[in-house]
Amino acid sequence: MSAPTVSIRSKFPGIGTNIFTAMNAVAQEHQAVNLAQGFPSFDCPPELLEYVTTAFRAGRNQYAPMPGLPELREGISEKVKFLYGRTYDPATEITITPGGHAALMSAAMAILHPGDEAIVFEPSFDCFAPIVKLCGATPVPIKLTFPEYSIPWGIVAERITPQTKLIWINTPHNPTGSILGPEDIRSLVRVVQGTNIVVLSDEVYEHITFDGHEHQSVCRTPELAERSFSIYSFGKVYHATGWKIGYCLAPSYLMQEFRKIHQMTTFTTNHPIQWGLSQYIKNRNHYLELAQFYQAKRDYFIAGLKGSRFDVLAAKGSYFQCLTYRRISEEPEMSFAKRLARDAKVAAIPVSAFYEDGTDNGVLRFCFAKSNEILDQATEALRKM
Ligand code: PMP
């Protein structure tokens, strides 16, 4: 590589290749079954593909309106009313974004200024704390309890300062598969009441909750909905993570600020895909069946592990299952994950990668959004460890 021509100051001197890229490379090197990747091995519904193709052919190939296609925003509004009982105005309270990730970024940027603090929970999806830093604010990490991965609300109350402007939650949770329950929602209401704290709620796995647990969207609770951005991803709902399309809901005074950021960063989102989704979203069956579909996958994966020396942690939602391997080895997670890829030919993600301080409880994250054949191959190898 050539020497730098100009001297630049890195925004993230400490950040290298992310853990997903690193583990994918390890998986490829050893030709391992890849349960590290957080995306499905199956395709999106054919009917949706038809709609999207129609949109391309019908010439819907120029910019969509800045907040998103009205037809899609209306469909989302109806869906949210049906699921969570709150009406979001398509004109002023819903914005379509190029993925859930971009929506998280715009929401955080809309709120956080240099000097502000944002509470984030660890382990967390890897972009949360870096986004807070990009805004010039300070992430205040609070560890979820182990092994339940629940929020220690007493500690949250203690860590709030006059600088706290944001609490960033994620339910169902990546990487642990934990979910927030009604009691958590009551605790969150108590913590934010009477403050100027905004809630940023990552709900991209909203449809994937198990064992009869209902997804606790912030939209259900007026005291939270009034001060929250909630974020969704069509990629997760329709097995189309490569499309990178999602949306944000927020009351109009928050959405106004969100749209200023969205307008100046990405401006608008893929038009033909929005149109395809605006047609397909009317079919409720696909997303209503998702919980059952993934619960069967989770149970199939766990059944396949019977007789292995891995221990299964509770997974109440998302498409991730965490396993501990302390009965097999005392090795750190990264070294065990690499050995697993080499010897068992199964790739997974060390959960330590989702903590800023690398907390290592001997836990790996496995993605079970895969065909039963892939899961069979993985569990057969895991049983031999
Ligand atoms: N939040 C969480 C918790 C995720 O797991 C992901 C995707 N892995 C995203 C946000 C990003 O969603 P999208 O792919 O729609 O940008």
* E runs forming strands in the chain: 33-34, 94-97, 117-122, 138-143, 164-170, 198-202, 228-233, 246-249, 311-312, 320-324, 346-347, 349-350, 363-367
Taking each continuous run of H as one helix and of E as one strand, the counts in the chain are: 14, 13
- CA–CA gap between residue 205 and residue 371 (Å, rounded): 19
Mutate to test the pocket of ligand 1, among 174, 262, 266, 320 (most ligand atoms within 8 A of CB): 174
Q: Which two tokens stand for residue 180?
A: 């927030």
Provide the pLDDT for residue 46.
97
| Residue 253 burial (10 A CB sphere; 0-12, 13-18, 19+) | exposed
Contact 113, 122 (CB under 8 A): no
What pTM was estimated for this model as a whole? 0.97
- CA–CA gap between residue 89 and residue 267 (Å, rounded): 20
Type of residue found at 135: C
Between the CA of 77 and the centroid of ligand 1 the distance, in Å, is 21
User: Is the preceding peptide bond at 147 cis, omega within 30 degrees of 0?
Assistant: yes
Cβ atoms < 10 Å from Cβ of 345: 16
As for ligand 1, residues whose beta carbon falls within 6 Å of it are 38, 99-101, 125, 170, 174, 202, 204, 233, 235, 241, 244, 246
pLDDT in tens, 29-84: 999 999 998 999 999 999 999 999 999 999 999 999 999 999 999 999 999 999 99
Buried b (16+ CB within 10 A) or exposed e, 131-168: bbeebebbbbbbbbeeeebbbebeebeebbeeebbbbb
Ligand 1 atom index nearest CA of 39? 8
- CA–CA gap between residue 319 and residue 383 (Å, rounded): 21
Protein residue with its CA nearest to atom 3 in ligand 1: 174
CA distances from 254 to 162, 225, 265 (A): 20, 11, 17
- Tell how strand 346-347 and strand 311-312 pair up: unpaired
Give long-range contacts, CB 8 A cutoff, 24+ apart: 60-63. 60/271, 60/272, 60/275, 61/271, 61/272, 62/271, 63/267, 63/268, 63/271
Contact 350, 334 (CB under 8 A): yes
Contact 141, 167 (CB under 8 A): no
- CA–CA gap between residue 345 and residue 338 (Å, rounded): 9
Name residues of the chain where pLDDT drops below 50.
none
pLDDT in tens, 301-327: 999 999 999 999 999 999 999 999 999
User: Is the preceding peptide bond at 123 cis, omega within 30 degrees of 0?
Assistant: yes
Max distance between CA atoms of the chain, in angstroms, equals 59
Ligand 1 atom index nearest CA of 234? 15
Between the CA of 205 and the centroid of ligand 1 the distance, in Å, is 9
End-to-end CA distance of the chain: 41
Q: Which two tokens stand for residue 109?
A: 């940027």
Mutate to test the pocket of ligand 1, among 21, 24, 101, 273 (most ligand atoms within 8 A of CB): 101
